[in-house]
Chain A
Amino acid sequence: MKSVASVSKKEVKKQSLSLCGKKVKIIMKKIFAIAWKDAIVRFTSPSELLFFIILPIVFTFLLAGGTPSNDDDNRIRIPVVDESQTAVSQQIIDELENSTAVRPEVVTRAEAQSQFDDRRADAVFIIPAGVDIEALQNGSAQVEMLQQPSNLNAGIAQRAILTAIRRVSSSVSAAQNAVRQREAKQAFASDAEKQAYFESSLTLAQDIQADAPERVTVIEGTTPDRVNYDPRANSSAGQLITWVFIPLFGISALFASERQGGTLRRLLTTPTTKATFLLGTISGQVAMALIQMFLLVGFAILAMKLNWGRDPLALFVILLASALAAAAFGATLGTFIKTEAQASGVSIMFGMVMALMGGCWYPLELFPTAIQSAVKVLPTTWAMQGMLDLVLRGGGLVDVLPEAGVLLVFAAIFLSVGVSRFRYE
């Protein structure tokens, strides 16, 4: 008897389990149906492809500075005029050549001026006659720089040039120090010997600088010229965020159109819950965002040779977290805005402002410090930093986890606000 009872109990459990499984299956099907319907609605007009993939690619490309040059050197090109023709000026140029940010190109003054006037050069660096070791030593050395007004690249070039000069002058002063110390102990036999000693000391100082990467990194870490910036990586990540976040914010417009069109009301007279509707709508847009992001990342990898793909899991995590945060923000926005037209206008505006403030268009490092901390309240900031961890700074999963975590917190907050405030009227 006992065993019979327990069997039937099990049976009941099994039945209710399979019933539950069936329910879940039906709900999953509905979620998929809603997402699919939204995809058809979105892509009925072919112009959507323009916003989905074509414009993002064009903008990424343009803001990256066009075609990468043939030698794959994407540093900022700086015409350099060397009128000193001294060892020091050559050293400065050599230092610039080693920089990751700029690529010096020695030209005549006339040529440099004309490139600058035609705006073909963001900045021009001029080393006038008389920049030599003595001048450097007694502080009378002066260099000139021409900059296009409010030009980002010019700012970066300026910092790179300052660093180069600092490095040269620091090796020069190290060498001179060595000469003086030697002289104090034992005078040089001749000027030639003194000069030779100076030069070997200088070489040694330079070698030490070059061979001591750690020390160099530490020193440079605090100098502003190491703006972590690569126009191509920044453009790729920044444009991706801009063009993906705007349609995700557009979930607000989707909600409004379902409310205004009466379809949401009709949906709620069918055996479909509000939760299913929200899940279907949001997951559909997130799925489309992921596809869009993979296409853009694919473009960046193939056509721009950017290294997005070194850690696919990290890439997926940061992309998904970004999409969820943006989608949840769109859902919240949708509960504050009544009409579809308003909602799409506001989505575009928020998308643009957040992209700008989040450092998607200009590196955050160029913002005043106060603003740099203030914009931490924006999901775009975290998305951008997370993506730069990967594509610019060469990080992996561990490096993107903090940003992904913050983005998921954004997603959770916005989603709960959006769901609790959601109305069908």
Chain B
Amino acid sequence: MPNILESQNLVKTYGDFTAVKGITFDIKEGEIFSLLGPNGAGKTTTISMLSTLYAPTSGDATIGGYSVTKDPMAVKRVIGVVPQDLALYEDLTAKENLVFWGQMYGLGGKSLTSRVDEVLEQIGLTDKAKNRVKTYSGGMKRRVNIGVGLLHKPRLLFMDEPTVGIDPQSRRAILDTVKDLNKQGMTVLYTTHYMEEAAELSNRVGIIDHGELIALGTQDELTKQVGETETLILHIGENEDPETLAKALSGVEGVQKADVTDHEVSVITADAKDILAAVVGKANERGIKIRSIDIREPNLEAVFLHLTGRALRDT
């Protein structure tokens, strides 16, 4: 498959702060590519440069063969954008919003009308199409926000954290929509800080942290980097000090790494069952009460932890 997107060393600085520090990656036609990274990693900044909203400080990218710096108008016709923050007219109905944005993509006449109906069907809002967006639930607004990006059947769709802050049911619906779109041939660049979403959707994942792409590959390729390890997640009582426990566990034999994430302690080890007893013993010794223990197979979360020493969520 040819590349629909090629990003070359994209850099974006705000004043003397560099938000994106030279990002290079490709997206193949037909795949779902996820950018996985914690808050402030530079996902939105990257998408903004790719969608021609900000000029990169340096570097360039081509999309569908057009340069984002030299031919932004041509790029805009290839891409659809679903911004992280809702960008809709709340006083308009869903239908009026879709019609308006369709016109901004240059659609009109009958083809616009039928396309709007199609998109409403796709996002499951045909029934409520004539209600004002401000009367919608958060999940419904998110769906309209996505619908706007689909109107002109873009070859490449940017979705910037489209599931942030919504209920599990709406999230499920959105993930299914993404998969459907992809099946119909749309290439998707999806950003998220949820490891599970990246895992479920993507063919390939780029892990981004502090403006740098620190890992890139299929899920299998990435998890192999961590090696044959498992992660123990220790949930402790609210009044307990996770730092003390993490420090104590670092010395235990068989523990490769022990870190505090949220109010949990993650322990990376070759084989969880070998150290389980020692871990519990150490906790008892310090008088720290463990409420439950999860054992996780290697996953993207572990990859991130392995690469950065931090958990995805609490940074």
Digitize A57-93: 1 where CB-to-B-CB distance is under 8 Å, 0 elsewhere: 0000000000000000000000000000000000000
| Interface hub of B76, B77, B87 (most chain A Cβ within 10 A) | B87
| In the assembled complex, A269 has its CB within 8 A of some CB on chain B | yes
Digitize B62-106: 1 where CB-to-A-CB distance is under 8 Å, 0 elsewhere: 000000000001001101010101111111100010001101111
Once the chains are docked, how many angstroms separate the CA of A40 from the CA of B104?
16
B105 touches A270 (CB 8 A): yes
Residue from the list A33, A41, A261, A269 in contact with B81, Cβ < 8 A: A269
Q: How close is A17's CB to chain B, nearest CB, in angstroms?
A: 19
Q: How close is A122's CB to chain B, nearest CB, in angstroms?
A: 46
B86 touches A270 (CB 8 A): no
Once the chains are docked, how many angstroms separate the CA of A266 from the CA of B144?
13
* Chain A residues, CB < 8 A from B106: 26, 30, 271
From B76, which residue of chain A is reached at the shortest CB distance?
A: A271
Q: How close is A73's CB to chain B, nearest CB, in angstroms?
A: 48
Digitize A256-276: 1 where CB-to-B-CB distance is under 8 Å, 0 elsewhere: 000001110111111110000
A271 touches B85 (CB 8 A): no
B89 touches A266 (CB 8 A): no
Once the chains are docked, how many angstroms separate the CA of A44 from the CA of B104?
21
Once the chains are docked, how many angstroms separate the CA of A266 from the CA of B48?
10
| In the assembled complex, B148 has its CB within 8 A of some CB on chain A | yes
| In the assembled complex, B45 has its CB within 8 A of some CB on chain A | no
Q: How close is A161's CB to chain B, nearest CB, in angstroms?
A: 56
Once the chains are docked, how many angstroms separate the CA of A269 from the CA of B87?
12
| In the assembled complex, B52 has its CB within 8 A of some CB on chain A | yes
> Which A residues from 371 to 425 make CB contacts under 8 A with B?
424
Once the chains are docked, how many angstroms separate the CA of A424 from the CA of B79?
20
Q: How close is B189's CB to chain A, nearest CB, in angstroms?
A: 13
* Chain B residues, CB < 8 A from A267: 104
* Chain A residues, CB < 8 A from B251: none
* Chain B residues, CB < 8 A from A261: 87-90
Digitize B241-285: 1 where CB-to-A-CB distance is under 8 Å, 0 elsewhere: 000000000000000000000000000000000000000000000
Interface size on B, residues (CB 8 A): 27
Interface residues on chain A, size class: 20 to 34
Once the chains are docked, how many angstroms separate the CA of A40 from the CA of B73?
28
B103 touches A262 (CB 8 A): no
A265 touches B91 (CB 8 A): no
* Chain A residues, CB < 8 A from B148: 266
A30 touches B53 (CB 8 A): no
* Chain A residues, CB < 8 A from B96: 37, 40
* Chain A residues, CB < 8 A from B217: none
The verdict on A263 contacting B53 (CB below 8 Å), with A26-B106, A40-B92, A271-B76 known, is: no
A265 touches B83 (CB 8 A): yes
B87 touches A272 (CB 8 A): no
| In the assembled complex, A182 has its CB within 8 A of some CB on chain B | no
| In the assembled complex, A305 has its CB within 8 A of some CB on chain B | no
| In the assembled complex, B132 has its CB within 8 A of some CB on chain A | yes
| In the assembled complex, B185 has its CB within 8 A of some CB on chain A | no
* Chain B residues, CB < 8 A from A41: 89, 91-92
| In the assembled complex, B202 has its CB within 8 A of some CB on chain A | no
* Chain B residues, CB < 8 A from A30: 103-104, 106
| In the assembled complex, A310 has its CB within 8 A of some CB on chain B | no
The verdict on A269 contacting B103 (CB below 8 Å), with A29-B108, A37-B89, A262-B87 known, is: no
B89 touches A263 (CB 8 A): yes
| In the assembled complex, B223 has its CB within 8 A of some CB on chain A | no
* Chain B residues, CB < 8 A from A272: 104
Q: How close is A244's CB to chain B, nearest CB, in angstroms?
A: 22
| In the assembled complex, B51 has its CB within 8 A of some CB on chain A | yes
Once the chains are docked, how many angstroms separate the CA of A263 from the CA of B79?
17
> Which A residues from 262 to 297 make CB contacts under 8 A with B?
262-263, 265-272
From A260, which residue of chain B is reached at the shortest CB distance?
A: B85
A263 touches B87 (CB 8 A): yes
* Chain A residues, CB < 8 A from B89: 37, 41, 261, 263
Q: How close is B159's CB to chain A, nearest CB, in angstroms?
A: 13
Once the chains are docked, how many angstroms separate the CA of A41 from the CA of B97?
11
B53 touches A265 (CB 8 A): yes
A271 touches B100 (CB 8 A): no
Residue from the list B79, B88, B103 in contact with A29, Cβ < 8 A: B103
* Chain B residues, CB < 8 A from A33: 100, 103-104
The verdict on A262 contacting B101 (CB below 8 Å), with A37-B92, A40-B91, A40-B92 known, is: no
* Chain A residues, CB < 8 A from B105: 270-271
The verdict on A271 contacting B77 (CB below 8 Å), with A40-B92, A262-B87 known, is: yes
Digitize A127-148: 1 where CB-to-B-CB distance is under 8 Å, 0 elsewhere: 0000000000000000000000
From A262, which residue of chain B is reached at the shortest CB distance?
A: B87
Q: How close is A274's CB to chain B, nearest CB, in angstroms?
A: 12
From A45, which residue of chain B is reached at the shortest CB distance?
A: B91
Once the chains are docked, how many angstroms separate the CA of A265 from the CA of B85?
10
B88 touches A263 (CB 8 A): yes
Q: How close is B141's CB to chain A, nearest CB, in angstroms?
A: 12
Once the chains are docked, how many angstroms separate the CA of A263 from the CA of B106?
17
* Chain A residues, CB < 8 A from B88: 261, 263
> Which A residues from 14 to 44 make CB contacts under 8 A with B?
26, 29-30, 33, 37, 40-41, 44
From A36, which residue of chain B is reached at the shortest CB distance?
A: B100
From B101, which residue of chain A is reached at the shortest CB distance?
A: A270
Known: A41-B89, A261-B87, A265-B53. 9 other contacts (CB 8 A): A33-B103, A33-B104, A41-B91, A44-B91, A265-B87, A268-B53, A269-B79, A270-B76, A270-B105
Q: What are 9 A-B residue pairs whose CB atoms fall within 8 Å in the complex? A: A29-B103, A29-B108, A33-B100, A41-B89, A41-B92, A44-B132, A263-B89, A269-B53, A269-B76
